[in-house]
A and B are shown apart, each in its own frame.
Chain A
Amino acid sequence: QQQVKQSPQSLIVQKGGISIINCAYENTAFDYFPWYQQFPGKGPALLIAIRPDVSEKKEGRFTISFNKSAKQFSLHIMDSQPGDSATYFCAASGSGSARQLTFGSGTQLTVLP
């Protein structure tokens, strides 16, 4: 059972545009929602993360919007650049010592120059 659903599977954006990736989760025990960025041949790298006590978190050009009642969260990349072209994964974990992350299926973002 997939507990974190991510869309779209792929996304093409013009340079300077806004990239938006959406995720929905099912497990109400989740309380930590990170986004990871992965370049080919590399492992995923933490980009930005949010906890459910806030509705939005911004770091530079990257913003997470969180809707607890809808059990949805999204990543917005403002002023998208060709260097942002990568695969993005949302994830979620619950409290407890394990903090095992459950990942979405990924979005391949291409930013055209």
Chain B
Amino acid sequence: GAGVSQSPSNKVTEKGKDVELRCDPISGHTALYWYRQSLGQGLEFLIYFQGNSAPDKSGLPSDRFSAERTGGSVSTLTIQRTQQEDSAVYLCASRPTGLGGYTFGSGTRLTVV
């Protein structure tokens, strides 16, 4: 596609439920990143995928968070047993191999009630 596509754009869930957020990166981009943006805050790194290499999970805040990337393309971020502090905008970005800049999607706004 022309850009990074994220779905859903908005998600309201009850505390304790699991949620899945989807990211479709730009075709051919080998690197994929997930960031979290809390209200009025900067972007917090969550996880990074590069090709078929093992992902860098160093930013995941707890073991309730996990992500996978299938076939080097689509990625899913899963949050289990959601808590109110998980409410934020979750942003996905992709980047081509080399020194190219990130292209971000529009994000998924997650609200845990």
Q: Is B101 an interface residue (CB 8 A)?
A: yes
Least CB distance from A1 to B in Å reads: 13
Q: A residues within 8 A CB of B91?
A: 43-44
Is B42 located at the chain interface by the 8 A CB criterion? yes
List chain B positions with a Cβ less than 8 A from chain A.
Answer: 4, 31, 33, 35, 40-45, 48, 50, 56, 91, 93, 95, 99, 101-107
| Chain A interface residue bracket vs B | 20 to 34
Instruction: State how many angstroms separate the Cβ of A24 from the closest Cβ of chain B.
Output: 14
Given A97-B50, A100-B56, is A45 in contact with B104 using a C-beta cutoff of 8 Å? Answer: yes
Chain B: minimal CB distance from A2 (Å): 8
Q: Known contacts A34-B101, A100-B56; is A106 also within 8 Å of B41 by CB? A: yes
Least Cβ–Cβ distance between B25 and chain A, in angstroms: 12
A99 touches B45 (CB 8 A): no
